[in-house]
Amino acid sequence: MTTLNDFKTLRVSVSPEVEQELYSLFYSDPAAAARLKIVEIAAEKGVTLSVDEIQSFLQQMDADDEFDDFALDAVALAAIAGGRNGGKRLAC
């Protein structure tokens, strides 16, 4: 069984570029990021993770403020701010 410390070790083993990609994915499509990318990265490193484990580990790490030092790229910031339409309000 994979532990939180195993997951943290996996996190630090990925390149900053991959980590940035993961953050962008989480803000645009969290399920896809966990299901596709993190499970794939873990498997490449010989670690078996379920989506539920990933979500639990990420929640624990977030509660411990372990993601507060990460800068988001423009895509992630736009997704958070709802900036897909350039800041224009859409008529309903």
- 3-class DSSP state of 2: coil
pLDDT per residue over 46-64, tens digit each?
A: 988 888 888 888 888 878 8
**Distance between alpha carbon 27 and the CA centroid of its chain, in Å?**
7
Angle at 22 between CA 74 and CA 58, to 5 degrees: 120
Q: Per-residue pLDDT for 91 more than 70?
A: no
Query: What pLDDT was estimated at residue 51?
Result: 82
> Across the chain, what does the average pLDDT equal?
75
Query: What pLDDT was estimated at residue 72?
Result: 56
Q: How far apart are CA 44 and CA 57, in angstroms?
A: 19
Q: What is the pTM of this model?
A: 0.62
Rounded average pLDDT over 66-71: 62
Q: Tokens 């499970």 appear where? A: 39
H/E stretch holding 77 reads: helix 74-81
